[in-house]
Amino acid sequence: MKFVSVIAHRIKVPLRRAFTTAVRSAVELETVIVELRDDAGRSGWGEAPISVVTKTTTDAVVASVHGPLWSLIVAADDVDHALALVEQSREPTVARAAVDCALHDLAAQQAGIPLAEYLNDRLQGSASAPTAVLTDMTLSIASPEDLAATALLHVSEGFNCLKVKLNAAGDPLAAMVAVRAAVGVDPILRVDANQAFTPEQAIAFIRELERADLGVEFVEQPVAAADWAGLAKVSAAVDLPIMADESVWNCADLELLVKHRGASLVNIKLAKTGGLRHARKLANRAAEAGLGVVVGCMLESSVGIAAAASFASTLPAMAQDLDGGLWLAASPVSGGAAYNGPEILLSQAPGLGITGFASASS
């Protein structure tokens, strides 16, 4: 396989409604979709979502993809060599993730199999792969009454796992009580604080959650990402499992998490790891350390979601955290993965199954 060109497409897509967390509020997706073309006329696709969370800009990603990363790709001997060079580079993480996924997409297309099957074969030695992956649904920060109404709506749409965004303002316990009262005892509830609490606030809140017996599965990133001692303090002081998200971007971060005993679960996102190659290393090391893994996403289109869901198909089945594409008013691409309520249906076409842009949005 020879690579003939790469194009970093600048994309903006309006959201169905505002997405609000403890660190930001968004009304549109700003992203870069990378299209990597080979000499057989195939296009491999990857995505670099842009936000304060991913710590870069559209201009920086486009420059990285068209400049240093393209230079690495064309100098590589083959796809595996290109992936290794991309992973080892110091380019922005989300730019590396987009190029890594595009390379994997092309490799799976060349093999004539879906990306999920390609990953399961290479990583698990399995001749088959799941055709669908389950996701939770996120509830954006809102009043207890609005959260309860939104939760009930999503349960009626078939979602049995809800992740509730909370902050330290107001009464976060009242929010969780309202959601549980609205949906009944069966749906799984998760909490995501996005670094909103001090360690002392987090401990007090989580202990209230435990006393209220609301059946919460875990609490995600209760304290600041770099506060390893605080994260460890919270984990040691409560019974509910703690999941690290913003704290862990790569294997070096994971070693710090293990050293501090900061959490019992980790949220792996391709935009943080720099792509599928490093994500697999991270998942393997987490398993060795006895940590649970959930595959998550940023606000992303179906390009990034399809790659993440394909990766999730190689891990133990559970509700992943891949609802980002459901917030978009429309998909910018045709083909690829599709949502059916809480299911992400993986394309059975070779690679990611993306056939091109849905409109002239690049």
Domain boundaries, the chain: 3-112, 132-357
CA distance 284 to 241: 20
Q: Which of 163, 165, 233, 272 is catalytic?
A: 165
**10-residue stretch averages of pLDDT, the chain, 362 residues long:** 96 96 92 97 98 95 98 96 98 98 98 96 77 97 97 98 94 97 98 97 98 98 98 98 98 98 98 98 97 98 98 96 97 96 97 90 48
One CATH from 3.20.20.120, 2.60.40.1840, 3.30.379.10, 3.20.20.80 for 132-357: 3.20.20.120
Instruction: Give the three-class secondary structure for 172.
Output: helix
Q: pTM of the full predicted structure?
A: 0.96
Whether 269 is catalytic is yes
CA distance 261 to 257: 6
pLDDT of res. 362: 46
pLDDT of res. 357: 97
Whether 165 is catalytic is yes
Q: How far is C-alpha 249 from the geometric centre of its chain's CA atoms?
A: 11
Q: Is 346 within 8 Å of 335 (Cβ atoms)?
A: no
User: Which residues, in sequence order, are CB contacts of 106 under 8 Å at separation 6+?
Assistant: 1, 36, 38, 42, 43, 44, 79, 351
Give the torsion sign (CA, 182, 218, 313, 332). positive
pLDDT of res. 124: 67
CA distance 269 to 298: 8
Round the CA-based radius of gyration of the chain to a whole number and report it: 20
The fold of the 3-112 domain, in CATH, is: Enolase-like; domain 1 (3.30.390)
Q: Is 49 within 8 Å of 296 (Cβ atoms)?
A: no
pLDDT of res. 203: 98
pLDDT of res. 129: 87
Q: Which of 2, 163, 259, 269 is catalytic?
A: 269
Helix, strand, coil share of the chain (percent; to 5):
40, 25, 35
Q: What pairs with residue 34 in β-bridges?
A: 8, 46
pLDDT of res. 303: 98
- Residue 202 per-residue DSSP state: H
Question: For the chain, how many helices (H) and strands (E)?
Answer: 13, 15
In this predicted model, what pLDDT tens digit does every residue of 90-149 receive, in sequence order? 999 999 999 999 999 999 999 999 999 999 987 667 768 899 999 999 999 999 999 999
Q: How far is C-alpha 278 from the geometric centre of its chain's CA atoms?
A: 14
